[in-house]
Structure 1
Amino acid sequence: MKGWVRGLLILSAIVVVAAYLAMPILTVRALVRAAETGDEAALERLVDFPAFRESLKEQLTGRLMAEMREDERTDDSALAGLGMLFGPMLVDGAVDALVNPQAIAAMVETAEAPGPADAVTPSEPASEDGEIRKSYAYRDLNTFVLGLTDPERPDETLKLLLKRDGPFGWKLAGVELPNPPPEGEVAPSEAR
């Protein structure tokens, strides 16, 4: 009798650990399926929009500030100071307006962060075959990364960050934008 109880406890522990480790993959699949079918209700459930917007704002603001600091034309300009002051506010407003279930779906389908044009017309899959490569990895026990790569831009991987939401729940809560191509180099998507 003792062996039976012990075996049941071990089996239960294995099932709990397997479910604990597999839940982000199931969430990613649900996110991709919702994006492909345009299921806005599912996307609302699967995305922590305030956290996602904040993550995107931080990255876009950081890029904007870095570009402004590197631009030689703005070294001594009073307009550069205004740009540094108002740039983050413009980014905040644009991200708040652009990040919605349709924008998340477009990101999953195209492996591109939303831009101002996406507010007017939804993005089409960037690659000819429409097949975005997906990679999965744990960053830590509470962060799971979905990497999205367009085969036409293999060096630009958009990383969607899922954060743990309770013991078994996960939500899309952040993004890591791909590094822009080096200055002077044309991105393959711009060359088309």
Structure 2
Amino acid sequence: MTRLFKGLIGLAVIGFLVAYFGSPLLTVRALVAAAEAGDEAGLERMVDFPAFRDSLKDELTARLMAEAQADPRVRDSGLGGLGMMLAPMLVGGAVDALVTAPTVAAMVRTADVPDPTEGATAPAPAENDSPEIRRSYGYRDLNTFAVRLTNVERPNQTLKLLLTRQGLFDWRLTGIDLPEG
């Protein structure tokens, strides 16, 4: 009897560990399926939009500041400093308008961040126009899971979507790491 009890406890522990560490993969599959189907309600359940917007704002502001610092015309200009002070506000407003469920779906489908100057939503690609996207996964830490999306036509530009654990088994998309360049 004790041997059976120990076996059941062992199976329960193994089952818990599989569910605990495998749960982000289920969320990723649901996220990709919702993006491909254009399921806005499903995406809204899986994305923490305020956290995702903040992450994108930080990424775009850092990139803009680095580009401004690298350009001697901007760096040495008095108006360049003013532009660098105003840039976070401009980026913030654009990101707030841009990041919606259809835009997140487009990011997942194409592994690309839509250009804010092209409008707030990106149309769903036709079935034969869909780029081939490679997905790879991995934990950054116990509560952060990264999904790396790479368009095979641009193998050096990988978009990373970051999911954060919400409770034991629930995950939400909360962050982004933009590709280099």
Shared fold, TM over 0.5:
yes
Q: Identity of aligned pairs, percent?
A: 58
Q: Distance in 2 between matches of 1:111 and 1:60?
A: 16
Quote the residue 1:132 is aligned against. 133
Q: Which amino acid aligns with 2:8?
A: L
Query: For 1:119, what is the secondary structure of its paired residue?
Result: coil
Residue-by-residue CA offset, 1:68-102 (whole Å, 9 max, x unaligned): 11111123322112201110000000000000101
Q: CA shift at 1:15, angstroms?
A: 0.5
Q: CA shift at 1:103, angstroms?
A: 0.7
Q: Distance in 1 between matches of 2:99 and 2:20?
A: 29
Matched, 1:48 2:28: no
Contact (CA 8 Å) 2:146, 2:161: kept in 1 or not?
Answer: yes
Indicate how the Cα distance of structure 1 residues 71 and 141 shifts in structure 2: closer, same or farther if over 3 A, else same. same
Contact (CA 8 Å) 1:103, 1:118: kept in 2 or not?
Answer: no
Indicate how the Cα distance of structure 1 residues 169 and 89 shifts in structure 2: closer, same or farther if over 3 A, else same. same
Residue-by-residue CA offset, 1:21-78 (whole Å, 9 max, x unaligned): 1100000000000000010111011011111111110010001111111111123322
Q: CA shift at 1:149, angstroms?
A: 0.4
Structure 2: any 5+ residue segments left out of the alignment? none
Quote the residue 1:105 is aligned against. 105
TM-score when normalising by structure 1? 0.88
TM-score when normalising by structure 2? 0.94
Q: Distance in 2 between matches of 1:129 and 1:119?
A: 20
Q: Which amino acid aligns with 1:179?
A: E
Deviating more after overlay: 156-165 vs 112-121: 112-121
Contact (CA 8 Å) 1:148, 1:159: kept in 2 or not?
Answer: yes
Contact (CA 8 Å) 2:52, 2:176: kept in 1 or not?
Answer: yes
Contact (CA 8 Å) 1:110, 1:123: kept in 2 or not?
Answer: no
Indicate how the Cα distance of structure 1 residues 129 and 106 shifts in structure 2: closer, same or farther if over 3 A, else same. closer
Q: CA shift at 1:129, angstroms?
A: 5.7
User: How big is the alpha-carbon RMSD for the aligned residues of Structure 1 and Structure 2?
Assistant: 1.6
Structure 1: any 5+ residue segments left out of the alignment? 181-192
